[in-house]
Structure 1
Amino acid sequence: MRYLSELLARSLLAALPLAAAARAGAEGLRIDADAAVEMALAASQRVVAAEARIGSAQLTVDAADAAQLPVVGTSAAVSQRSAVPEFAAATGGPGTEPVVIFPNIETAYAAGIGVRQPLYAGGGIQAGREAARHGLAAADSSQALTLLDLRYQARVSYWGAVAADAALGAAQAQELRALRLLEDARSLRAAGMAVDADVLGGEARAASARLDVVRASTERSNRLAGLRSLLGVAADIDLTLADRGTHQLPPMPAPLDELLASASDSRPELAIVDARIAEALATERSVNAARKPAVGLAAQWDLARPNVRYLPLEDAWNDSWSVGLLASWTVFDGERALSDAAAVRAEAQAMAADRDELARQVRLQVETARLSLEAALEAVESADAARKAAAAREEASRERYAAGLAPIVEMMDAQAELADAEVAQITVRAAAWIAAADVQRAVGR
């Protein structure tokens, strides 16, 4: 019941971002990276599946705990039997009235209540409870991994859409420059200061710029479609990216040792493997418990007609009870339990080796993600300087071309250089934010 209440509460909270998106409707929806993360978590069925797996693991814990509780059973029976000769004997001696010891009772009734309480199971019950709890811990860590992956995917998808949107703006600006160049070429040709080749070159540049706009527009549409799908936003809702055209940058990463320590403590993949190893070791103890003796307490209360514990038998209701100790010990099972325990132990050893390899990969991921973020942040200054220089050259070339002092080839080269610089400026800024998301993912945040 507690699990269902928590699941209902989380579902209601998760529905709030979706309700806000529905209210936005045709008026559009403005989001930033943090809003994208919250909406992705609310819309994903992977979160629902992770919650369900936690519920399943919790029920497994409840079942393991119930193994130490008494088991109460009831029974009832009625049977119709064939007639048999009665048996009577003069129990009082010669000359006394015979007593019917076994009467002809054709209909028999019986009911009973039994209780069994395990007292000692070789540690198997406790080991089973521990294994179930480690399984629950693994399910919790699996949910954390799901949330971590969704947060990372949402941030990368968001910044990819921001980059695609900015790239489209750069392509459109380049198209406008190409069209102005074409217009200038035609004006100069009309004034006798340019030749047909200049006009043809301008037309080629304008056509190439239009092609770049189409490609950038398609990429932007694809990125936004992927973002909408991840966030659960309908196609008719216009998404406005809050960081469009932003010049903000993520902060420099923390020292490597600090990030490695955080990853060692926070990465859910490591926690999952640790829980599975502990679960396997507990399972091994549970399997080994089958090789030890088991002792239990049993009690039974019966109500029967006739009750065979009463002699002479009579067609009447009588009750009886019994209390006793039950002990069992499997002396030989063909070493089945021993082999099963060895197999579980070998699997735990394999998972321990996998854990060491995973830890190595985590350390490498943290180091490379940090290096990528540092490189991206360092590249921003160079990209900004390159864009500024390319813009100055394009302006100077345009003035020289308008004055008839420069060929159109120089102008087209300057425009192409400016377009490349603008795209590089956009790319390195988006790469910096994506690298920051990589660092967060690598350390398990």
Structure 2
Amino acid sequence: MKKLLTTLLIVFGVLSGQERTLTLEESLQIGLQNSKQIKISQAALKSSEVKITEVGSQMLPQLRFGASYTRLSDVKPFAVTVPFSPTPITIQETILNNYQLKFSLQQPLFTGFRLSSLKSAAEYNSKAVELEHTKEINEEALRIHQAFWNYYKAQKVLQLVEENLKSLEKHLTDTKNFLENGLVTRNDLLKLEVQYSNTELKRIEAKNAVELARSAFNKSIGLPLNSKSQVSAEEPTATPVTTKFDDLLSEALQAREEIKSLEYKIKAGEENIDATQSGWFPSVFLFGDYYYSRPNQRIMPLEDRFEDTWAVGVGLNWNILDWGETSAKTTQAEQQLIQAETAYQIIKENIELEVYKDYLTTLSEFEKVNVSKKSVEQAEENYRITKDKYNQQLATSTDLIDAEVALLNAQTNLTNALVDLELAKTKLEKSVGRRIY
């Protein structure tokens, strides 16, 4: 309840126009709470749970009530003629109105294992749907992770471009002073002004990228497109993957919800085969009927008044010849089981490929981060030396511009590499079956 209240307060703050900064944890909390896909999955889970109740109810006594009224055509009363009697003796008066109330109770005793098999199948299917629901939550969490970190990356790139603009502004001021003192040429100033304009174009593109990333982030957590949301996170750390691929794959094959779900579906398929084969067996049931009729046909002679009677017994139904219906249903159930078993093999192969791909991607992104860090160090040192030389008139404006561009590119590449590594690690966590929310 406390978590839900916190979520509502955060959402209300964002919707009211306040510029609210969200952490990754808060984003996941809001996004999973608002997710339409998860709501669909929850509805499917609820449906599978009540299916168990539906099947189980058929194993319990069934009580039914019926009522009828019948108006009969007028006929002569039933009478007999006896010797030495001047008039016939009426045995039964004509009763034109018939009323009947009936309560019927029926309890299945044996259904050829149909009901027990159907209930077991429903229970297995419900467990499968529950695992699919957990999988959907993890899938939604991954989408939120991606939107969050892409938004974070766009903000960082914009910040780098704006810092570069401030640095260029200072260089322009210094260069104008140099020009007034005759230390540089007009062409040197023009080159810096052109570079400043080019960087302003980059800022426009970076701002647009931020807005696009913000809108994608808003939609991923269920907020209106133009909500004034911000994200905040510590800079991702470049930690290497220390677990071997074989261990990751073994974990995935044991933990992935898709595999567990299909295992339950296979069990449900086996139970469905047993249920369809019940058509080859008889059905035995206990029944009881209570009648409240006017007239009651069991009480002779018939009287125009309500009387009650009852009956109990055991019944048996056996479809001796169904022209192959049971065989056809059994074959269908067997083929559905084959489909589930084949899908089980396919999903294991797909998971193996997915884990391997995510594992290699994570290793690759880690190497990119290391290379990018070295590039930033080299670019910073190159910029420092070039800037000192430029201030001493030992380097041209072209040299300074090249150093500025190289530094900005190196810093941007490092930001991209760090975020891509974070996303790669998150995706690897998900692919081995770990929760990422």
Matching residue of 1:118:
108
Are residues 1:286 and 2:275 paired? yes
| AA of the residue aligned to 2:7 | P
Structure-1 separation of matches of 2:233 and 2:3: 26
Aligned ranges 1:42-121 → 2 under 5 Å:
42-89=33-80, 94=83, 100-121=90-111
1:306 and 1:98 mapped to 2: Cα distance?
24
Once residues 212 and 23 of structure 1 are traced to their aligned partners in structure 2, the CA distance between those partners, rounded to angstroms, is 32
Of 159, 170, 175, the match for 2:165: 175
Q: What CA distance in whole angstroms lies between the structure 2 residues aligned with 1:173 and 1:127?
A: 69
Indicate which of 193, 196, 200 corresponds to 1:206: 196
How many angstroms does 1:379 deviate by? Answer: 3.0
- Aligned 1:335-374 pairs, distance under 5 A: 335-374=324-363
CA displacement at 1:378 relative to structure 2 = 3.4
Out of 5, 22, 25, the residue aligned to residue 12 of structure 2 is 22
Alignment correspondent of 1:162: 152
Cα deviation digits, residues 387-427 of structure 1 (max 9, x gap): 11101111211221222222222222211111111011101
Q: Which residue of 1 aligns with 2:412?
A: 423
- 1:202 and 1:294 map into 2 onto residues whose CA distance is 93
Whether the 8 Å CA contact 1:112–1:301 is kept in 2: the answer is: yes
Q: Using the alignment, how far apart are the partners of 1:270 and 1:16 within structure 2? A: 35
2:291 is the alignment partner of 1:302? yes
Cα distance, 1:239 vs structure 2: 3.4
Show the 5 A alignment for 1:197-236. 197-233=187-223
Shift of 1:271: 2.5
Aligned to 1:209, what secondary structure does the other structure show?
helix
CA contact (8 A) 2:74 2:96 kept: yes
Q: Share of identical aligned residues, percent?
A: 18
CA-CA distance at 1:26 after TM superposition: 5.1
Mapping of residues 398-417 of structure 1, within 5 Å? 398-417=387-406
- Deviating more after overlay: 246-255 vs 362-371: 246-255
What's the TM-score, normalizing by structure 1?
A: 0.90
1:265 maps to a residue whose letter is: Q
Instruction: Report the Cα distance in structure 1 between the residues aligned to 2:338 and 2:350, rounded to whole angstroms.
Output: 19
3-state SS of paired residue (1:322): strand
Aligned to 1:389: 378
Deviations 1:60-95 (A, max 9, x none): 1101001111111112222222221111236xx755
Q: Give the root-mean-square deviation of aligned CA atoms.
A: 2.4
Q: Please report how far the alpha carbon of residue 145 of structure 1 lies from its aligned counterpart in structure 2 after TM superposition.
A: 1.4
Normalized against structure 2, the TM-score is what?
0.91
Query: Equivalent residue for 1:6?
Result: none
Aligned residue number for residue 326 of structure 1:
315
Deviation (angstroms), 1:36: 1.5
**1:217 offset after TM fit, Å?**
1.2
Q: Which residue of 2 aligns with 1:4?
A: none
What SS is found at the alignment partner of 1:79? strand
